Structure 1
Amino acid sequence: MYTATTRAICVTVRPQYLPDQSDPAKSQYVWAYQVRIENRGDETVQLRSRHWKITDGLGRRQEVKGPGVVGKTPRLRPGEMFEYTSGTPLSTSSGFMGGTYQMVSESGENFDIEIPTFSLDTPGESRQLN
């Protein structure tokens, strides 16, 4: 589990390798990741967009930007949380990803919060530093 807190908004990520969707013989590896976003502050915020940086085991980097997460732009009052699950494929058996969510406060202030960088590792493979 990986956690980062920015401006009292806590983002926790739990990655999981999906062997049933992966095919190592074809250099296809797939991970799911569950994300929990908790508003521990005293102001209502809304997630507007995401910016992911995904790096494979060979150091090749891909960036993914877009509105919301899984088709939603959740609004979180103080004490509320939002959870979702998504996934990513890689052509190598390891890598890592992280990034930012772009948020807006009730007062209209736009700001970024950190998505913790997390490791994507295939069970049984020797770990390598990416």
Structure 2
Amino acid sequence: MVTQTTQGVKISVETTFQPEYSNPENDHYMFVYKINIENLTDYSLQLLSRHWFIFDSNGSHREVDGEGVVGLQPVIEPGSSHEYVSGCNLKTEIGSMKGFYSMKRLADEDVFEVEIPSFQLISPYKLN
């Protein structure tokens, strides 16, 4: 698990390779990632959007922007967390992702960025 705290928001990431949804013969590798967003501040926060940087080990990369996470813009109360699961496909057996969330502090409407730490996406058989 990879974890990082930015401005009182703790992001934890776990990844899993999905062999049943992958097709190596066609350069298609599917991964699932579970993210836990924990509000360690004294304020209610709302997750507004996400921005991802996705890297394949062949040197290609792409960026993905979107509102919220999996269709939600959750409000996370102080001391609470929000967890979700999503997926990413790569053209190679190894890659990585990193990014940031735009969050809004509801008390004063201040918008700030929370870093999503870089995490690896690795097919288990590639490690042997």
Q: By the TM > 0.5 criterion, same fold?
A: yes
What is the one-letter code of the residue matched to 1:105? Answer: R
What is the CA-CA distance between 1:126 and the residue it aligns to? 4.1
Per the alignment, in what secondary structure is the counterpart of residue 46 of structure 2?
strand
> How many equivalent residue pairs?
127
Match of 1:105 in 2: 105
Partner Cα separation in structure 2 for residue 24 and residue 10 of structure 1 = 34
Letter of the 1:102 partner, please give it: S
2:92 aligned partner: 92
Q: Distance in 1 between matches of 2:120 and 2:5?
A: 18
Question: Where do 1:45-124 residues align within 5 Å?
Answer: 45-106=45-106, 107-124=108-125
SS of match in other structure, 1:72: coil
Return the letter of the residue paired with 1:82. H
Deviation at 1:50, TM superposition (A): 0.2
Task: Provide runs of 4+ in structure 1 moved above 3 Å.
Answer: none
Q: Percent identity?
A: 40
Q: Secondary structure at the match of 1:125?
A: helix
Which residue is 1:26 aligned to? 26
Following superposition, the deviation at residue 11 of structure 1 comes to: 0.5
Q: Which amino acid letter does the alignment assign opposite residue 32 of structure 2?
A: A
Unmatched 5+ stretches in structure 2: none
Once the two structures are TM-superposed, the CA of residue 65 in structure 1 deviates from its matched residue by 0.2
Shift of 1:78: 0.4
Distance 1:56 1:123 in 2: 16
Aligned twin of 1:125? 126
